[in-house]
Structure 1
Amino acid sequence: MKLNDLRDNQGARQGRVRVGRGIGSGLGKTAGRGQKGQKSREGVSIKGFEGGQMPLHMRIPKRGFNNIFAKDYAEVNLGAIQKAVDSGKLTATDITQAELNAAGLTRGGKDGVRVLGKGEFSAKLNFTVAGVSKSAREAIEKAGGSVTIPEIVPAAEKAAAKKGKTLAAKKAGK
């Protein structure tokens, strides 16, 4: 056998069928699309269409509600924080979202961290977080720590304050 004798097995490679190339090809005239109608044309997108009847996805009752104003908190339990303190991953005494992220305890949470009270906790730590459950607050204070929740100013109030500053600056300039 020589390199110039190498070939695929018979039928291993099948040629592309060229449709719509005359009656002699066997796939001429309608080119395998049947006859007439929207589906025989190019660029059809009528997946959920049922001939004018109300489509199934609209007939079925909808469930639930997606609150677009819901806060996105990263949640972490006290037990996980205690485990990180014991293993040396968490060494700071003032705990914020940055420290929890660095220790690998939280991810995401664009509106901050919320501490929950599941697990045993005995470390004396000071937390500055967006939220804390009642049981978590009790456990932290019992261990000798403290919880601070920074006050969040709504965007509307920020805008109003900024607008007031610009008006005052304009009046002072006159």
Structure 2
Amino acid sequence: MSIKLHNLQSSTQKKKKKRVGRGNSSGHGTYSTRGLKGQKSRSGVSGLKLKGMKRIILATPKLRGFKSIYPKTQTITLGRLNKFFKNGDIVNPENLLSKKLVDTKTKNIKIVSRGELTMKLIVKDCKISKSAKEKIESLGGEIE
């Protein structure tokens, strides 16, 4: 027998869907194959609970906490300023961004006293630690 479009059949038999709750003469009326009482007979039961998925869901790791809407403070050390700036340069968010020392132009930039500074710098619109402020001012720099 040759295979043609009109005599194709699926290799597996398709099981007919059980129609429940359509009258007592159907054999699946009244309780609709759910039994009398209990959690499984009620309408609001989660399908995951019935299939034993609760343990799996509880065991899977979930994201905790929340993401803050406030930008993080970006820190720059005096050592990096010493490497990227020349004597008498102005250090501000725009210049730091152009030299790719910070990711974005933001007011949350803090200069910390790590590393050595060997020149005079003018710092504008940046937060600064006490020790970094002392080092910059001792070299004749300004903080505005």
TM-score of the aligned structures, taking structure 2 as reference length: 0.53
Contact 1:72 1:109 in 2 (8 A): no
Paired positions, count: 106
Task: Tell me: CA distance 1:101–1:109, structure 2 relative to 1, closer, same or farther (3 Å).
Answer: closer
Contact 2:88 2:119 in 1 (8 A): no
Identity of aligned residues (%): 21
Cα deviation for residue 82 of structure 1 reads 0.3
Contact 1:95 1:128 in 2 (8 A): yes
Task: Tell me: CA distance 1:91–1:120, structure 2 relative to 1, closer, same or farther (3 Å).
Answer: closer
Structure with more helix by fraction: 1
TM-score of the aligned structures, taking structure 1 as reference length: 0.46
Higher relative contact order (CA 8 A, sep 6+): 2
Give the greater-gyration-radius structure (CA): 2
Q: Which residue of 2 aligns with 1:147?
A: 143
Q: Which residue of 2 aligns with 1:168?
A: none
The 5 A counterparts of 1:22-101 are 22-23=9-10, 26=11, 28-30=12-14, 49=48, 51=51, 54=54, 56-58=56-58, 65-66=65-66, 68-85=68-85, 90=86, 93-101=89-97
Q: Which of 97, 104, 110 is 2:100 aligned to?
A: 104
Contact 1:72 1:111 in 2 (8 A): no
Task: Tell me: CA distance 1:22–1:107, structure 2 relative to 1, closer, same or farther (3 Å).
Answer: same
CA RMSD after TM alignment = 3.5
Cα deviation for residue 118 of structure 1 reads 1.0
